[in-house]
Structure 1
């Protein structure tokens, strides 16, 4: 049976890069293949999609995710995924996501799963959003399938913003964009970027890294399936579908 899926997006168009002299904004957004690959699988299974973000602003892709390098030179794959996002803009309210606060606790009961793609954008506005914390506590409390990839798990920190509730994913085995991968980015960018792995570990998650996660492996713990980087997008989508079907 078709299920209702909530996809969480960031409103951020930049993230902070801290240099020795100041902090400069770097352009970002959602990472194209991390959103498009799982989304395509959800749509192929006739699931109903609702997009939501902190304030309902128009989401934009991370420029790096649209490069041919990101697709290993596969022009046609990039074209398919851009066409899917264009279709969502025309047909599915992608350009006007629902603000978190517009989704009531009663309406949350109608959703069967939640998915949070990556890109550096979540570092700016998802980790400290109290309304997102409320949303994620619902999926956690109900044990509903929850998929996150790359920088997406940073959004889990928002659960700490809900009064007297703490960190919802304490003790969960989660994989994400690692500190080592981020440090490589820092070398290229020439500045310091907030870390997902170590921040989640400090919050209480059991972070899983290793060769398997670097080449597309995923991690499943209770209701959460996580992937470390764009290479995991396809496998993440498949496992999320399996979890929704149970």
Structure 2
């Protein structure tokens, strides 16, 4: 299969807003550390590279990406030290070979250059809640892939970035009526209990804009949802399946 170019969208944020509901900061909005979720980036990325494709990383301002601390814990890998090391090694290689440490600012990617990309991928982690959902330049980029029916993959909190399409073009949500799976409200409420605060809900935000949210047992345990050019998934358990389905879409 001939090599194709895949654009990978990252957040510049190192935290996201958490409205505290308990403790000494109750009523205040605090910065909760976050970034990209390691497994949700590394697993699809490895499959894209194994298929022989070229990747380009981009973010709002081109700042150095930060991993979500929770995603680097051994708990997140169910104690599998070797898997965690492999995925950290992959990111280190991307820093050396693919400009991961200094992504392309969205504005630097012209409409003409966008035509050279075959697909786009947005990993999760809570960071997209901070800076991707309302980014007009990202909205322009995603509207291109949508209009051209080019493979688009999103996972966990990554689907929140789709809301950026409201900031570009005619101001409408480009994925209205699409079936989408994301990190669910139920899963987020579990995190809220742990953090003692409230978080913007990806599932509700997309549903409120007209997306048809697909959530259930299958999606909680590694299932993916495909609608037209968009493949989506809800959590790290689906990262491998998302990568496989995305690579197949690229090869068509």
**What is the deviation of 1:21?**
1.8
List gaps (5 residues or longer) in structure 1: none
Determine the C-alpha separation between the residues in 2 that align with 1:110 and 1:213.
32
Q: Deviating runs (4+, > 4 A) in structure 1?
A: none
Q: In the alignment, what sits opposite 2:101?
A: 95
Determine the C-alpha separation between the residues in 2 that align with 1:165 and 1:189.
34
Q: In the alignment, what sits opposite 2:9?
A: 8
Which of 123, 130, 144 does residue 124 from structure 1 map onto?
A: 130
Residues paired across the two proteins, number:
246
Alignment TM-score, normalising by the size of structure 1? 0.99
Alignment map for 1:214-225 (pairs within 5 Å) = 214-225=220-231
Alignment TM-score, normalising by the size of structure 2? 0.97
Determine the C-alpha separation between the residues in 2 that align with 1:65 and 1:211.
22
Residues 174-210 of structure 1 show CA distances to partners (whole Å, capped at 9, x for unaligned) of 0000000000000000000110000000011000000
**What is the deviation of 1:163?**
4.3
Which of 230, 236, 242 does residue 248 from structure 2 map onto?
A: 242
1:161 aligns with 2:162: no
**What is the deviation of 1:165?**
3.7
Secondary structure at the aligned position of 1:128 is classed as coil
Which of 59, 63, 68 does residue 57 from structure 1 map onto?
A: 63
Q: In the alignment, what sits opposite 2:23?
A: none
Contact 2:140–2:169 under 8 Å retained in 1: no
Q: Report the aligned-residue RMSD.
A: 0.6
Contact 2:224–2:241 under 8 Å retained in 1: yes
